[in-house]
């Protein structure tokens, strides 16, 4: 009954190991800088075995990129019962914890660095990650507007504002400083401020919302959703 032979099982496991190794090495050295030997060594195999799995360096690179499909998927879509401010607050932390993960930053750096040579990967990543997330935020903000809790003309701009206020600064810094992992307290500073500004600009009852936000920011930040 073992339709899945031990061999096949090993093959699959090894493929995962290869893709992880490829991620590590490509992120460290870039596409041209990464050697197939180095990737094989990182995966604990040798080069010809690697070619058994992927016919070329480019194929491996593409497969790896496509493998990293949106972990940052539907962070949130629908309003909860806890109210908008808490939704936004938890969302902000969730998003921050994902986007600021070292491996996510390394992936972003790699894509940005190689996008000149692999334009389709830039597009793919944009659509699978940021664009989908933006859609989620837009949907949520729209529902808040429908409920009379927010006021805006253009949902896309509002969503971009939210992201720009909360994460643009720490992420930009992090992209330029790979050695420096920003402490959680720094993130809190940007998240609290960003939400404050967003609510001041967009809320239909800013005073109430800001009071509630104050309460939330006095508590310790929510636990990180965990690493990959």
When binding is defined by CB under 8 A, the residue of 85, 110, 138, 150 that contacts a second copy is: 110
The reply on whether position 117 binds a second copy by CB under 8 A is yes
Q: Count CB-CB contacts under 10 A for residue 73.
A: 13
Chain positions 125 to 154 lying near a second copy, rule: CB under 8 A, are 125-126, 130, 154
Q: For a second copy, which stretch binds (CB under 8 A), given 1-9, 82-90, 173-181, 214-222?
A: 173-181
- Please, what is the minimum distance in Å from the beta carbon of residue 123 to a second copy? 7
d(CA 44, CA 117): 29
Q: How many chain residues are in contact with a second copy, going by CB under 8 A?
A: 47
d(CA 78, CA 76): 6
Are 60 and 26 spatial neighbours (Cβ–Cβ below 8 Å)? no
- Please, what is the minimum distance in Å from the beta carbon of residue 43 to a second copy? 20
State which residue, 45 or 182, has the beta carbon closest to a second copy. Answer: 182
The reply on whether position 56 binds DNA by CB under 7 A is yes
The reply on whether position 27 binds a second copy by CB under 8 A is yes
Residue 193: name the closest of 219, 171, 167, 173 by CA.
167
- Please, what is the minimum distance in Å from the beta carbon of residue 47 to DNA? 5
Residue 175 contact among a second copy, DNA, none, beta carbon within 5 to 8 Å by kind: a second copy
Chain positions 21 to 50 lying near DNA, rule: CB under 7 A, are 34-38, 45-49
The reply on whether position 51 binds DNA by CB under 7 A is yes
When binding is defined by CB under 8 A, the residue of 17, 30, 132, 142 that contacts a second copy is: 30
The footprint of DNA (CB under 7 A) covers 5-7, 10-11, 14, 34-38, 45-49, 51-52, 55-58
């Amino acid at each position: 009954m073992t339709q899945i032979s031990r061999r096949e099982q090993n093959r699959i496991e090894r493929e995962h190991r290869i893709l992880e190794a490829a991620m590590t090495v490509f992120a460290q050295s870039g596409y041209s800088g990464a050697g197939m030997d180095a990737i094989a060594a990182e995966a604990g195999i040798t080069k010809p075995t690697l070619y058994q799995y992927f016919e070329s360096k480019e194929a491996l690179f593409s497969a790896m990129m496509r493998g990293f499909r949106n972990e940052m998927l539907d962070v949130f879509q629908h309003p909860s019962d806890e109210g908008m401010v808490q939704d936004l607050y938890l969302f902000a932390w969730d998003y921050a914890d994902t986007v600021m993960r070292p491996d996510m930053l390394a992936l972003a750096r790699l894509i940005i660095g190689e996008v000149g040579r692999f334009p389709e990967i830039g597009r793919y990543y944009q659509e699978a990650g940021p664009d989908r997330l933006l859609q989620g935020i837009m949907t949520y903000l729209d529902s808040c507007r429908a409920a009379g809790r927010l006021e805006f003309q253009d949902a896309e701009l509002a969503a971009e504002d939210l992201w720009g206020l909360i994460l643009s600064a720490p992420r930009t810094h992090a992209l330029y400083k790979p050695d420096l992992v920003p402490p959680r307290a720094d993130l809190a500073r940007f998240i609290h401020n960003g939400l404050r500004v967003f609510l001041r600009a967009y809320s239909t009852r800013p005073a109430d919302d800001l009071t509630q936000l104050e309460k939330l920011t006095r508590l310790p930040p929510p636990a990180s959703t965990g690493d990959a």
